[in-house]
Amino acid sequence: MAQKIKREASPLETYKLQVQHEFHCTQITSYNHKLHLQHEENESRTNTQLEINYGKHWDEINNRKKIFITQLFKNDSSLSLTNYFMEFTLQIPEKQINYRTQLQHSHLLQGYAESNTHAKVLYNDKIPFQAGIQWKDTSKPNLKKWEGSPSFWMVPEAQRLHAAEQSWEHPASSSKESPLLTLSPPSPLVHL
C-alpha cells in the first residue's frame, strides 16, 4: 500500500491538492486499486478530478476497470454580469457509461435586466433532458414589460433506459429523438 499527498498554494492564490493512493493484494486481486485525486481552486474556478483504477490489471494503462469523476465550477462574473457554469461528469468505460450534467446561468444588469439559464444532461453522447429559461426586462418609463421563453426537451423514457446496452443504436435522424414536450411562448428573446 502506498499513499502520497501534495498540497500547494501559488502566489496567484491558486490552491492545488493531489492525492494518490494504491493498494495491491496478491491473494484477492479484485481488491487492487489505484486512486488519483486532483483539486484546483482559485477565485474564479474550482475543478476536481478523480480517477480510480481497480481489478486484476489495475496498474496497466489499458485497464478498462476505471471510474472517472470530474466536477467544475466557473464564475466569470463582473459588476454588471453574473455568469456561472457548473459541470459534473461520470465515466465508467467497462460499463460503457458516459454521463455529463451542465448548468449555465447568466444575468446581465445594464440599465435593464436580462437572464438566461440552461441545464443539459448528456448520457452516452445523447441528450435525454434539456431545459432553459430566458427573460428580458424591456420596460419603458410608464410601461412594465417582460419578454421571455422557457424551453423543456426530454427524450422518451424507454430510450433512456436502454441507452447503456451495448447493442443499442439509433441514428440521429430517428424520430425517437424528437422532443416529448416543448414549451415556448411566441415572444422571441435575444441571447446573451
More confident residue, 188 or 14: 14
The three-state secondary structure class of 106 is strand
Q: How many CB atoms lie within 10 A of CB 172?
A: 7
For residue 54, give the amino acid letter. Answer: Y
* Beta-sheet pairing, 45-54 with 66-75: antiparallel
Boundaries of every domain in the chain: 1-71, 76-192
Q: Would you give the distance in Å from CA 139 to the centre of its chain? A: 35
User: Does residue 58 register a pLDDT over 50?
Assistant: yes
Q: Which residue has the higher pLDDT, 41 or 172?
A: 41
Mean pLDDT of the chain: 78
Residue 161 has pLDDT above 50, yes or no: no
Dihedral sign of CA atoms 133, 138, 143, 144 in order: positive
3-state secondary structure of 175: helix
Contact between 56 and 32 (Cβ < 8 Å): yes
- The label of the residue with cell 490552491 reads 15
Across the strands, what pairs with 50?
A: 37, 69
Q: How many whole angstroms separate alpha carbon 95 and alpha carbon 165?
A: 9
Beta bridge partners of 91: 68, 98
pTM higher than 0.85, yes or no?
no
Q: Of 78, 2, 9, which Cα lies nearest the Cα of 42?
A: 9
pLDDT at 160: 42
Listed ranges 50-64, 81-95, 146-160; the one with the highest mean pLDDT: 81-95
**What distance in Å separates the CA atoms of residue 192 and residue 189, rounded to the nearest whole number?**
9
Name the residue with higher pLDDT: 56 or 37: 37
- Which run of H or E residues covers position 161? helix 157-161
pLDDT digit string (tens) for 85-131?
999 999 999 999 999 999 999 999 887 788 999 999 999 988 888 99
Q: What mean pLDDT comes out for the span 49-74?
A: 91
pLDDT of 162 reads: 43
Query: If you average pLDDT over residues 52-61, what whole number do you get?
Result: 87
pLDDT given for residue 167 in this prediction: 34
